[in-house]
Structure 1
């Protein structure tokens, strides 16, 4: 991948989801496990189901997964049938459902990275979509980390 913008998008997505590389960060906490995946692996299904200000970590996580699915659909040049409200309906999860949500989040993230690797240039629409995906995912990472503080995991 020779495109500096695509390299930057990949780097920032990786930091958001996987955490920073080598204890150096562009915008997250610079210690290992600071990304979304490292943050979520410490959360039980029970804790993911605790309501904080009207939402749960499970809902925040599934909404982030849903957003990645929408981004992947657009990169496939498909018009997804969106139901944003449905992406917030999850409240209580058991261990199996919590594991499934996390696995699906990983799958959508991996699909997105593979799609980015196939791009050689970016038009304005794709640029906005990818940058929006970084910002949106980072927002929910921050929300989840604040929710963890509120429930004192």
Structure 2
């Protein structure tokens, strides 16, 4: 993968999770205010808000699902093959206490940082490029879902 394309992919992933760069220079697809990525959305959320059921799922489940997906992506980048995954299990979180909520958030941040490091280190091929780009799209989708769910929770 060219250096330019690799840097663009990292920019989009960073915007998905961190929001636009500070100082603000605009954004590519998230709101242009600081902390408008996944991390900014979830760090302002209490464990009670993260546990609120909205149409059968919780913000904690969405957040952990993104973490789980990133873990799977990171395993593919490291091992070159899909790990055994139980996608249904990634949605089973219905309630979290403060410690569990912090653990989910820390796990997500760890997998995100691991992904950024892997992007710089891997030997690119079409499979790995598709995996990273699908992870970007998947995470951006869940950012939108999380932001919509927050509108219900923060009423």
Query: TM over 0.5, yes or no?
Result: yes
The CA deviation at 1:3 is: 1.3
Among candidates 85, 88, 91, match of residue 88 of structure 2: 85
What is the Cα-based RMSD across aligned positions, in Å?
A: 1.4
Other-structure match for 2:19: 19
**Following superposition, which runs of at least 4 residues in structure 1 exceed 4 angstroms of deviation?**
none
Other-structure match for 1:9: 9
The number of residue pairs the alignment matches comes to: 152
The CA deviation at 1:152 is: 2.0
Higher relative contact order (CA 8 A, sep 6+): 1
The CA deviation at 1:5 is: 1.3
Unaligned 5+ segments in structure 2 are none
Alignment of 1:123-138 (within 5 A): 123-138=125-140
Distance 1:78 1:134 in 2: 18
TM-score (norm 1): 0.95
User: Residue deviations 1:36-92, cap 9 Å, x none?
Assistant: 111111000000000011110000000000000000000012431110000000110
Alignment of 1:1-153 (within 5 A): 3-21=3-21, 22-23=23-24, 24-76=26-78, 77-119=80-122, 122-152=124-154
Distance 2:77 2:130 in 1: 12
TM-score (norm 2): 0.93
The CA deviation at 1:122 is: 2.9
Unaligned 5+ segments in structure 1 are none
**Cα gap change, 1:70 to 1:6, in 2 (>3 Å):** same
